[in-house]
Amino acid sequence: MNKIIAYLVLSTLSYSLIAQEMLTLEQAIDKALENNYDIKLEKYNIEISENNVSRAVSGQMPRLEHQMNYELGYSDAEIQTLNISPEAGENPPLELSGSSRELTIQPQLSIPIFNGFSGRYRYKQLENTYQTSELQLTAVIEQTISSTVSTYLEVARLQSRLGIDLDNIALSFDRWQRVKIDATFGAANSVRQLQAEVDLKTDSANYRNVILSYENSRRNLNLIMGQPADQIFTVQEDILLSDELDYAKLENEMKMRNTQLNLSELGIHNATYEVKISEATWFPNISGYTNYTYLDSEDDASFLQSNQVYGPGVGISLSYPLFTGGANKIQRQNAQIRLKKEKTRLGSVNLSLEKDLRNAYAQYANNQQQLRIEKANLRTYEQNFEKVKEDHSLGQVDATDLRTAQLNLSSARNRINDLTYNVKQSEVALLQLTGRLSPKRSDN
């Protein structure tokens, strides 16, 4: 039995002795941003949106076209000529038949002059779409950073928990060895030995459960970073907590920089431009054009058997839709509805974000308060354990009291460990709400 317990403890302790690579939080974030497929896809969308920000796409640039038509035909014609000498009798009709061909070549340059400012608003809409694509990328980056930091902190919390539980095992192992020595000299009965063994095995089992959770969290972090699931590393446990955050300042930052809020505002801008574009149908379209025409035709069934026309031309065209079956009216109505929809969405986002900020800040403040209380109580638990341990060595208290004091101290350390990382997790949630997680926006 003694060999089994010793092996159990040594195998448990050996886990923490494996040399592992240190992964910093900055390295984890860099790897996640580099390997995240959603970020790569959003970058393609940005490239497309950037290419679309063009006067040509918005219909404001001149258009050069080249038209060429070639037509072959065959016809039978009966031609009645004018009778200029009635006394000579009626002119019989002429019957002609033969093939015909016609070649037309016409390059033309069209220049938009006025289209109800629809081209101008389309260009602004394209710029707005590009800004929306950038913000959508920012949202994906923020979510990736948030997931990376949260998972990294969970790995760090469990890694720190391993150290606390390992200390607990060391205390139980020391107690078990003392009981074994006492039993050799007849100073400990079998009940004390069994109780010490049970406590040591319980602590070892708890430690192995934490190892399992730790390895699962590490695999989750590997997935976020785009690494093989079995990649082994350790993380930094030193967590730097920020000074207490001010709610009013956080609220102002959220109103200015929250990504979802900014996206909703851009949605209103886009819908406004859509209304302007639809209203452009009230105005005529005016365009100028210049061309050069070359016409070459031959017709065997005509008096004019050969004809060539060529030369430049300049003109202005004006078009105005008098009746479209109500399509333009429906387009304007739908544009107005979309604008109302986006304004309603903005109101909903504002209310939701205000609720999220209050909840996140309340959680943050509560975690900080609980952490201060637990840190203040830790010294009491430590002193109580040392006192009970000393009394136990003098035979003034039994093993149950010692075990209770040990568990109380271990629980206090674990609560402080959990609360330390909970404070940081709630801080990350606040930073995401205020738009400070994205590297591009945190310095603004």
State the average pLDDT over residues 159-178. 91
**Which residues are CB-neighbours of 261 under 8 A, at least 6 positions away?**
254, 255, 346, 349, 350, 353
Dihedral angle computed from the Cα positions of residues 434, 438, 442 and 444, in that order, rounded to the nearest 10 degrees: -90
Which segment, 14-28, 212-226, 287-301, is predicted with the most confidence on average? Answer: 212-226
CA distance 156 to 154: 5
CB 204 within 8 A of CB 9: yes
State the average pLDDT over residues 281-310. 83
State the average pLDDT over residues 142-159. 96
Q: Is 417's pLDDT higher than 90? A: yes
State the average pLDDT over residues 247-273. 96
CA distance 211 to 16: 10
Q: Is 225's pLDDT higher than 90? A: yes
State the average pLDDT over residues 352-375. 97
The tokens describing 318, both together, are: 């004006």
The gap from C-alpha 35 to its chain's centroid, in whole angstroms, comes to: 14
> Using one digit for the tens of pLDDT, what is the confidence trace for 161-170?
999 999 999 9
**pTM, 2 dp:** 0.83
Q: Is 220's pLDDT higher than 60? A: yes
State the average pLDDT over residues 131-136. 96
Q: Amino acid identity, residue 301?
A: A
Query: Structural domains in the chain?
Result: 2-71+97-433 (1.20.1600.10)
Q: Is 442's pLDDT higher than 90? A: no
Q: Please, which pLDDT band fits residue 17 given cuts at 50, 70 and 90?
A: very low
Mean pLDDT of the chain: 88
Phi and psi at residue 108, to the nearest 5°: -140, 135
CB 301 within 8 A of CB 76: yes
State the average pLDDT over residues 26-46. 94
Name the pairing type of β-strands 94-114 and 234-235: unpaired
CA distance 321 to 330: 14
Q: Is 190's pLDDT higher than 90? A: no
> Using one digit for the tens of pLDDT, what is the confidence trace for 306-352?
788 889 999 999 999 888 889 999 999 999 999 999 999 999 999 99
CA 229, 231, 237, 239 torsion-angle sign: negative
> Using one digit for the tens of pLDDT, what is the confidence trace for 105-128?
999 999 999 999 999 999 999 999
Strand stretches in 283-427, DSSP E: 285-299, 306-319
Q: Is 88's pLDDT higher than 90? A: no
**CB-CB neighbours of 358 under 10 Å:** 12
Q: Which of 36-50, 330-344, 389-403 has the lowest mean pLDDT?
A: 389-403
CA distance 210 to 213: 5
Q: Please, which pLDDT band fits residue 7 given cuts at 50, 70 and 90?
A: very low
State the average pLDDT over residues 83-87. 60
What's the pLDDT at 94?
61
Q: Is 84's pLDDT higher than 70? A: no
The string of DSSP letters for 206-262 reads: HHHHHHHHHHHHHHHHHHHHT--TT---EE-----PPSPPPHHHHHHHHHHH-HHHH
Write down how long the chain is. Answer: 444
Which segment, 184-198, 384-398, 401-415, is predicted with the most confidence on average? Answer: 401-415
Q: Is 243's pLDDT higher than 90? A: no
